[in-house]
Structure 1
Amino acid sequence: MLVRYNPWNEMNAITRQLDSLFQDFQAPTFRTPAAELHETDEAVHLKLELPGVEASYVDIEVSENAVKVVAERKAETKTDENGKVRSEFYYGKFQRVISLRARIQNTAVTTEYKDGILNLTLPKSETEKNKVVKVNLGEISA
């Protein structure tokens, strides 16, 4: 069987692939919430950025050594007079799991959610607090 080669078919295919690639760059993509960790002797403080997410759509699970946050930004349905919407916002569910270096008391976690910023105070377990022990050398004999 003889097949006739047409270079324009390949050029059209490449053009379609490039157009698709550039559309993907402009389309909203999955966004992992930015996080900030600060550790003190008593607790680990975790701050997560969740702009545009209502508190009722945030789910937090805390274990002894990790925090899992699942959130969802609901789409706002707004259209112009032609019925078309162009948006670069990401809508939908996303999650973040953050491992913690210290063991924490997951039953004593406190939260605050204000202006799209989630603050978690994760108190360290007693064994973590007492991990560092000061040792007295006493008198040094010469």
Structure 2
Amino acid sequence: MALIRWEPFRDIERLEPFREIDTLQRQMNRLFERLMPTDGAERMGFAFIPAAEIEEKEDAIHLKLEVPGLESKDITVEATPDAIVISGERKSETTTEEGGVTRSEFRYGRFQREIPLPCQIQNEKVQAEYKNGILRLTLPKAESERQKVVKVNVG
């Protein structure tokens, strides 16, 4: 088998596949930009939407939110019997460097996330703990939800 040196830009006919790849890459980038959940949030004035994890137990719902880089005073939690609204703001730390360029991929600004709950809760008894960038909420179920018995018809 002979080795042949590959010169993709030797003549114009060989450039066409690379133009198609470039076009495809631009189209994929636009698609991902539209699908990113934070993109819409930024247009509405929000910096990011924190990731959440919810677990339903017999007596309570446990909710975890990932909100790193904040202090507990920067987070607001509002509870209704049907939903939880978490909001806050990550403040920018402005630094000035002389003769250099600063590039930041951190997202600063306000955020808000409303999470509908699978059942009614006792919103006056919600407990919150914030540690290491994770907000943990314990949402006790309403008495009517705990005592709820549903009869299931078989056949």
Distance 1:83 1:57, change over 3 A: farther
Range with bigger deviation, 80-89 or 42-51: 80-89
1:134 CA displacement: 8.2
Q: 51, 59, 62: which one pairs with 1:45?
A: 62
Identity rate, percent: 51
What SS class does the counterpart of residue 73 from structure 2 fall into?
helix
Write out per-residue CA displacement over residues 31-52 of structure 1, whole angstroms, 9 at most, x where no aligned residue. 2100000000100000000010
Q: With a CA cutoff of 8 Å and minimum separation of 6, indicate the structure with the bigger relative contact order.
A: 1
Aligned to 1:61: 78
Q: Which runs of 5+ in 2 are unaligned?
A: 1-25, 34-38
Partner Cα separation in structure 1 for residue 144 and residue 100 of structure 2? 60
Range with bigger deviation, 77-86 or 40-49: 77-86
Q: 76, 88, 97: which one pairs with 1:71?
A: 88
What SS class does the counterpart of residue 107 from structure 1 fall into?
helix
1:80 CA displacement: 2.1
Paired residue type of 1:50? V
1:54 CA displacement: 1.3
Pairing 1:114–2:136 present: no
Q: TM-score, normalised by structure 1?
A: 0.71
Aligned to 1:36: 53
Distance 1:53 1:105, change over 3 A: same
Paired residue type of 1:63? T
Aligned to 1:86: 103
